[in-house]
Structure formats: structure tokens, C-alpha cells
């Protein structure tokens, strides 16, 4: 009997002895990363279990939720990182990326293994399996998609699992998981064809890496921690190299500290096993402390815009031009077309409808096709589109049924803070995404109506317009910038919102308007139903970019620890946009570009990911499980909780997050003075380094040594003494730069929140 089977037997025996003769349902045995189980029991039974000496911890299950063609070029991969790996046909080979998400569509060409005649074996270290079900048949896995399983026991016992929609298999009925998998490691050069239009070729960040899928999230309800922990445990047992989670908890974990929750603690065990863990920051920005990924052993990724934008325009008869979104062609030539709003085009000249769906162009049977034919149909875009009660696709069907020349959607004023992605359209069309622009458009339309003076009925539609197509992208210089929805630091240590001495997010990566593979069964975005690719936005899209780039680092440096990979990504980031100006951060939901200001470390972490530089970091900041363990033990009153989760007892520890050897320095409260140390390891040739810094406002800093020489493979301790020069509770930011004489440089952010000169 192996040790895992022995633990399962002990767990079953404990349940039988404690709950003798009582009803319970055991869902999972966790036996690889942690010794534990998930079980459905009453509060009284939970109390019985908690009183057993063999039981360290009892926790209530909780819910979680889900939080590309051009981004490889934007990140410089074709001329940089891929070249170092031998080109896209070798980038990431031998590395297994495990994705915990909504599953995958195994039939998508992004996951085929027959696109090259080169040798492409399944990595020998990977030991996972491929589930076989009716909707995930034998042969679904291959040398690219090397493993696939699903976890839904907690959801099923709660009665929320819809078998016909959620699918008890690794198959993706949502679309989110297929999308994220393709961003991380989808095949290179897959044509993106949507709504009959060609949008270039897609590639994952590590196009030759292997994919293992652990489905624990579902379309109709999201997911539950018990299922996610089971997926993490299995991925680690299967020996994946990287775990990517585009999911976050629905609420901040209760208890002593945010770090003490089942998912983060399972991920700590995964890091102990040598697995690099990346997680989406969450889409809960732009408020401070909105972070949904907390722990220092997790690499947290925020979302930025990249430089490709699909814009189309409507030119009105009064020569005003209004910008819109829509992956759509324009109207023919320079001809102007009459505009007609759906409520003004009802059959038999009936009065304006009370049903919102008619104004939203959802029912062609009520519209006068003869009146509309050859005109541009005007539809309202209301909150019902956001809720899925109305759809652009249905409005386009309506416009086609009544022979409209095109369609324009204006934004209902109640749709605030909802980012409209460019939507595929097979006919000329656009959505006006600004409520202010929508008012301008409607004013022109209404002022141009000619009415009968007696009856008030419309006798002529004099408003005219033409649509300029949005099939060709524009490339700007203001990227990257932090998107308004990207969750922000400081990292909340607990539910009282005390600040942790830990920088979150770790960095930002492309997350806005990202092309990715789409499941043939995908229901998550109605506008892309039936398509093979979709354009989505969110930190969910940013995290797999970094998972794929981490695979490239793992391929080049197979002995790197998870912290070493994190350091290589963090110290080599870009801090300016394409124009050389500071990266900006959007500050509000509505009109986000008008409220942006320079990003701080709590918006963008170390900065914007630089794929090529990360493959040659020069020096790294390394730390491991024992350091994280000491950090947890240093939290006041944490000893029993740490023992409950890890099985190990705490020795006396005064370590804080600022003492961890992270590629950043964050001090939540600087009480007069603080000494911080960092140890760098040279992973390149012998090199001489100079250390320079800019001190956060309200502090003075000294560093020793200011210069050092590190032979290859050797370490160097650097000590910083930080003194407060003013009393302030406002965060201030600086940086530390390590500059090598052979061209390497490592930049880390230095953040101090509260500063106290005198304490009483």
C-alpha cells in the first residue's frame, strides 16, 4: 500500500469512528499536498470532528468565480524570447502548464498535436490521466493536451450542478477555460476567423508547452473551494510545472489573516513541491485594497491594455464623428444612409412600444421591413444585454431580416462601469460605448426627425450617417496602462484591512480585448456563440500570459525554484509605455481614460512584464517554503492555525512580509526606523553591480554595500536602513536598482505606507 492510500484509509476510519451510524458524504481525500478531506456534514457533526485529537482544522467551504493574436508581438516574443528558445516550434517544450478553470474544448486546433513533424513527446515527469466520458471521448487528449479531469463533488452535493449545462467532464461548456489555455500555451499560427472575418493568427505565449486541464469551475454557478483544492492537489500529484488560476474567492477570507484559507494553503504546498503558481488579481478594481489574491508565494497578475485597438466610427450628417466598438465592416463607399430607430419603425405605424426588447431590436416580426430597408437601424443597448436577456446577435438577425444597411447601438445611460468588448458583426455596425456620445447621437437623430404638425407623427427621417469599418486594428503608443477593473493593492492582511508587508499585484500583463480560442459549446459570451475564437477582457486573461512566459523561463532554467521564476519576471519589467512616458492607471469605472494618473506599485506591482528580459535576469531574489512558513509563524497568534494547515509547529518567529527575500520592499508601518535585507544570487557570468535607489517620500535610506562583485552562482547580502522623516499615513513609493557592468539590471519597487517619526 502506498502512502496516499494509507492516508485515505486513516481518513475513512476517523469518519467512521467519529460519526458512527450517522449520515455523511465524503467528497474528496486530499492526500498529496495536504492530509485532509472534504465531507458533507451537519454543524453538530463538524463540532464532533473538531474535538478529535487527530483533527487539526475544520473549515466551511466557500464559493469562487472566474476573474490572443497580437500580444506575442506586443511582448516582443517573435524577435526575442522565442528566438532564444529556438523559435515558436520549440518555445516551452517539455513544460506542463496546469490550468484550473472551466475545462477545455479538445477539438480546437489550438490544442492539436499534429501541426509539426518534429519530435513532441509527452514529458516523462507528467503522470496525469485523461478522463473519458460521453462528451469527452477517448482520444480527446494528445501530446499537446496531456491530461484532463473534472472536480464537481461539492457543487453536486449542494444541488447547484446542472448536468446538461455544466457537463460532468473536462469539456468546456463555458468558454473561459478554453480561452485561458490557448493564451498560455495554444499552438502557434492558428487563423482567427470570427463572423466570417479574418483577424490574423493566434499563438499562446509558450506555443510548444503542454497543457493539463483541471476543471473546477462551471458556467451556471462558478465553483467551490473544496473542488478547487481537489484540483490543485491532483495537479501537484500529476507533477505539473506551473499552475494557472484565473479564479478568485467571492469574498475576502475570514479569520486571522487572508493567507489562511484552503486554496492559498494548498498552493503553498504546491510551491513546496516546486510548482510555480500564478493567479489573477481579480476584477474588483480600481479601489485601493481591492486585491483578491493575497499570499506571497502566489504570483499575482493585474491587467493592462496593449497597443492594439479595434475602433470603428459613425460619421453623422452634421459632420460629427463618433467612435464605436464593433468587429464589423463599414457601409459601402462614401454614401450616407438614413437612420431609423426601431421604436419608430413598427408595423402599421403603431406608437412607440413599452417593451424594452423592441427598442433593442430583438423582434423583427413587429418591425416594418419596407420602411427600414436600405436604412441604418438604430437600437438601444441596455442593462438587459449585460444580464444576457438581450443580445447583439439577435439584433443583427433582426437587422438582416428587415434588410437594414447596417445597425448602430447607442448606450442606455444606466449601463455604467461595464466595459464593452468589440463585438463581431457580419454586417456594418457598431456600439457607441460612451453614454455622453450616445446623447450626442440621439440629439442629432431626434432633431432631424420631420413630424406632421397636426398629428405629431414622423413623416420623414432626415438623419443620415455612414459607418467606417472596424475590422482593421489601430496600434497606439499609450499602452500599456492599468485597466480600471484590475484589482489594486495594498495587500489586505485581514478583514480589518490592515496592510500586509507584501506587494500585490506582482506585475501587470495584457488583459484587455484579448483574442483566444473559444469552445464550440461556449456559453459565457453570447456574442461569440458558435465561433472558434473570442475577444475577452479581465485579469483572467492576464494570468495565463504570465503562466506561458513562466514556461519559457522553466524551459531555459529547469532548476529554478518558483521564487526564482517570480524574481526573473519581476525584476525585468518595463516601467514606461511605448512613448517612454510613465505607465498610467485608470482610476474610475466611467470614462476611465479621463481620470488616469501615473501608476504606482499598488496598481502595477513591479511593472509591465518583459518576456525577453525575464530570460536573462542576471540576478534573482530566491526564497522557499521554510521562509514562507516562518513568515506565517510571525503573524501574531498564528501558531495553532499554521500547525493546523501544515502539520508543523512554529518556532519563535518575528519575520514579517518585509523580511521575505522578495523582489520588492513593502513596509506597511515604518515606526521610526527599520532594517531590511535582501540576498541576490547571480545566475549569469561573474559581474560587478552598483546599487542605487530613490527613497520613498518621507523617508531616508542607506544601503550597504553600494557596490559588489558576484561570481556566477554566488550570493550577496544587501542591507537597507530606512528612517521616517515625517508622520504620514499616505503611501509613498521609490525604487532600488541593481546595475551590472555587463548590461544586467534588476529594478525593485520600494513602498512605505504609514510613517511614524515619534511613537508614544
**DSSP output for 508-577:** EEE-SSEEEE--TT--S-GGGTT-SEEEE-SHHHHHHHHHHHHHHHHHH-TT--HHHHHHHHHTT-B-B-
Residue 751 grid cell: 513602498
Contact status, residue 27 vs residue 39, Cβ threshold 8 Å: yes
Q: Is 540 a catalytic residue?
A: yes
Give φ, ψ of 449 to 5 degrees: -70, 135
Catalytic residue among 246, 292, 293, 540: 540
Q: Is 233 a catalytic residue?
A: no
Q: Where are the alpha helices (DSSP H) in 422-538?
A: 435-447
Contact status, residue 625 vs residue 275, Cβ threshold 8 Å: no
Residue 518 grid cell: 473559444
| Torsional class of 46: left (φ above 0), alpha (ψ -120 to 50), beta (otherwise) | alpha
Contact status, residue 514 vs residue 70, Cβ threshold 8 Å: no
Cell 450628417 -> residue? 317
- The partner residues of 285 in beta bridges, in order of sequence, read none
Residue 104 grid cell: 477545455
Q: How far apart (Å, rounded) are the C-alpha atoms in residues 59 and 261?
A: 9
Catalytic residue among 176, 188, 306, 545: 176
Rg for the chain (alpha carbons), in Å?
Answer: 28
Tally the C-alpha atoms within 13 A of residue 102's C-alpha that lie toward its C-beta. Answer: 31
Tally the C-alpha atoms within 13 A of residue 415's C-alpha that lie toward its C-beta. Answer: 22
User: Which 3 state secondary structure label does DSSP give 591?
Assistant: coil
Contact status, residue 377 vs residue 361, Cβ threshold 8 Å: yes
Q: Is 513 a catalytic residue?
A: no
Catalytic residue among 101, 174, 494, 622: 101
**DSSP output for 24-89:** -EEEEEE-SSSSEEEEE--HHHHHHHHTSTT--------EEEE---SHHHHTTTTTTHHHHTTSTT
Contact status, residue 505 vs residue 302, Cβ threshold 8 Å: yes
CA angle, 562 then 566 then 572, to 5°: 150
Q: What is the DSSP letter of 492?
A: B
Q: How far apart (Å, rounded) are the C-alpha atoms in residues 31 and 315?
A: 63
**CB atoms inside a 10 Å sphere around CB 119:** 7
Q: How far apart (Å, rounded) are the C-alpha atoms in residues 114 and 143?
A: 9
Contact status, residue 631 vs residue 656, Cβ threshold 8 Å: yes
Which residues are catalytically annotated? 101, 176, 540
Amino acid at each position: 500500500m502506498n502512502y496516499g492510500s494509507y492516508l485515505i484509509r486513516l481518513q475513512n476510519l476517523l469518519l467512521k469512528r467519529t460519526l458512527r451510524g450517522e449520515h455523511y458524504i465524503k467528497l474528496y481525500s486530499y492526500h498529496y499536498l495536504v492530509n485532509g478531506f472534504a465531507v458533507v456534514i451537519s454543524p453538530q457533526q463538524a463540532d464532533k470532528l473538531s474535538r478529535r485529537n487527530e483533527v487539526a482544522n475544520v473549515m466551511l467551504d466557500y464559493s469562487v468565480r472566474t476573474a490572443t493574436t497580437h500580444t506575442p508581438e506586443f511582448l516582443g516574443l517573435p524577435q526575442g524570447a522565442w528566438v532564444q528558445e529556438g523559435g515558436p516550434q520549440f518555445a516551452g517544450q517539455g513544460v506542463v502548464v496546469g490550468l484550473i478553470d472551466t475545462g477545455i474544448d479538445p477539438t480546437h486546433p489550438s490544442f492539436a498535436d499534429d501541426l509539426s513533424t518534429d519530435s513532441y513527446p509527452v514529458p516523462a515527469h507528467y503522470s496525469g490521466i485523461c478522463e473519458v466520458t460521453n462528451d469527452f471521448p477517448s482520444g480527446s487528449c494528445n501530446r499537446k493536451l496531456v491530461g484532463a479531469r473534472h472536480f464537481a463533488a461539492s457543487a453536486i452535493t449542494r444541488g447547484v450542478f446542472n448536468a446538461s449545462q455544466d457537463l460532468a467532464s473536462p469539456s468546456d461548456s463555458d468558454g473561459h477555460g478554453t480561452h485561458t489555455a490557448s493564451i498560455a500555451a495554444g499552438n502557434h499560427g492558428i487563423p482567427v476567423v470570427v463572423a466570417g472575418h479574418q483577424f490574423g493568427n493566434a499563438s499562446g505565449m509558450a506555443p510548444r508547452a503542454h497543457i493539463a486541464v483541471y476543471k473546477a469551475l462551471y458556467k451556471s454557478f462558478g465553483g467551490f473551494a473544496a473542488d478547487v483544492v481537489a484540483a490543485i492537489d491532483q495537479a501537484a500529484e500529476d507533477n505539473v510545472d506551473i499552475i494557472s488560476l484565473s479564479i478568485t474567492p467571492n469574498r475576502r477570507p475570514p479569520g486571522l489573516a487572508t493567507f489562511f484559507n484552503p486554496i492559498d494553503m494548498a498552493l503553498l504546498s504546491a510551491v513546496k513541491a516546486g510548482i510555480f503558481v500564478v493567479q489573477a488579481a481579480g476584477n474588483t478594481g480600481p479601489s485601493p485594497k481591492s486585491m483578491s489574491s493575497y499570499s506571497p508565494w502566489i504570483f499575482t497578475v493585474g491587467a493592462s491594455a496593449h497597443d492594439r485597438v479595434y475602433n470603428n466610427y459613425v460619421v453623422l450628417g452634421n459632420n460629427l464623428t463618433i467612435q464605436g466598438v464593433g468587429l464589423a465592416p463599414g457601409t459601402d463607399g462614401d454614401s450616407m444612409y438614413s437612420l431609423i430607430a426601431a421604436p419608430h419603425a413598427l408595423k402599421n405605424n403603431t406608437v412607440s412600444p413599452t417593451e424594452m426588447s423592441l427598442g433593442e431590436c430583438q423582434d423583427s416580426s413587429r418591425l416594418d421591413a419596407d420602411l427600414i430597408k436600405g436604412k441604418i437601424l438604430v437600437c438601444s443597448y441596455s442593462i438587459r444585454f449585460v444580464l444576457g436577456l438581450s443580445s447583439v446577435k439577435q439584433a443583427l438577425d433582426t437587422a438582416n431580416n428587415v434588410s437594414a444597411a447596417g445597425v448602430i447601438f447607442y448606450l442606455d445611460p444606466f449601463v455604467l462601469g461595464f466595459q464593452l468588448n468589440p463585438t463581431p458583426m457580419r454586417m456594418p455596425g457598431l456600439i457607441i460605448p460612451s453614454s455622453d456620445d450616445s446623447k450626442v447621437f440621439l440629439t442629432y437623430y431626434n432633431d432631424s426627425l420631420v413630424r406632421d404638425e397636426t398629428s405629431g407623427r414622423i413623416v420623414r427621417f432626415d438623419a443620415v450617417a455612414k459607418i467606417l469599418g472596424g475590422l482593421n486594428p489601430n496600434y497606439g503608443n499609450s499602452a500599456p496602462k492599468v485597466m480600471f477593473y484590475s484589482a489594486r493593492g495594498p495587500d489586505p492582511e485581514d478583514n480589518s484591512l490592515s496592510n500586509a508587508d507584501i506587494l500585490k499585484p506582482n506585475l501587470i500583463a495584457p488583459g484587455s480585448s484579448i483574442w483566444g480560442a473559444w469552445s464550440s459549446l461556449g456559453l459565457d459570451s453570447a456574442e461569440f456563440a458558435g465561433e472558434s475564437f473570442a475577444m475577452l477582457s479581465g485579469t483572467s486573461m492576464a494570468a495565463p500570459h504570465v503562466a506561458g512566459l513562466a514556461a519559457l523561463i522553466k524551459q531555459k532554467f529547469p532548476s529554478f525554484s518558483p521564487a526564482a521564476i517570480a524574481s526573473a519576471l519581476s525584476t525585468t519589467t518595463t516601467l514606461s509605455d511605448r512613448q517612454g512616458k510613465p505607465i498610467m492607471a485608470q482610476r474610475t469605472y466611467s470614462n476611465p481614460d479621463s481620470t488616469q494618473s501615473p501608476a504606482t506599485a499598488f496598481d502595477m506591482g513591479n511593472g509591465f512584464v518583459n518576456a525577453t528580459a525575464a530570460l536573462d535576469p542576471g540576478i534573482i531574489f530566491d526564497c522557499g517554503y521554510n521562509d514562507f512558513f516562518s513568515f506565517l509563524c510571525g503573524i501574531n497568534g498564528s501558531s495553532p492555525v499554521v500547525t493546523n494547515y501544515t502539520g508543523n509547529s512554529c518556532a519563535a518567529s518575528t519575520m514579517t512580509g518585509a523580511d521575505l527575500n522578495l523582489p520588492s520592499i513593502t513596509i506597511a508601518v515604518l515606526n521610526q526606523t527599520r532594517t531590511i535585507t535582501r540576498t541576490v544570487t547571480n545566475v549569469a557570468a561573474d559581474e560587478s553591480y552598483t546599487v542605487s535607489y530613490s527613497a520613498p517620500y518621507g523617508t531616508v535610506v542607506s544601503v550597504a554595500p553600494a557596490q559588489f562583485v558576484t561570481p556566477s552562482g554566488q550570493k550577496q547580502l544587501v542591507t537597507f536602513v530606512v528612517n521616517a522623516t515625517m508622520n504620514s499615513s499616505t503611501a509613498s513609493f521609490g525604487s532600488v536598482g541593481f546595475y551590472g557592468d555587463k548590461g544586467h539590471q534588476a529594478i525593485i519597487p520600494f513602498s512605505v505606507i504609514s510613517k511614524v517619526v515619534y511613537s508614544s
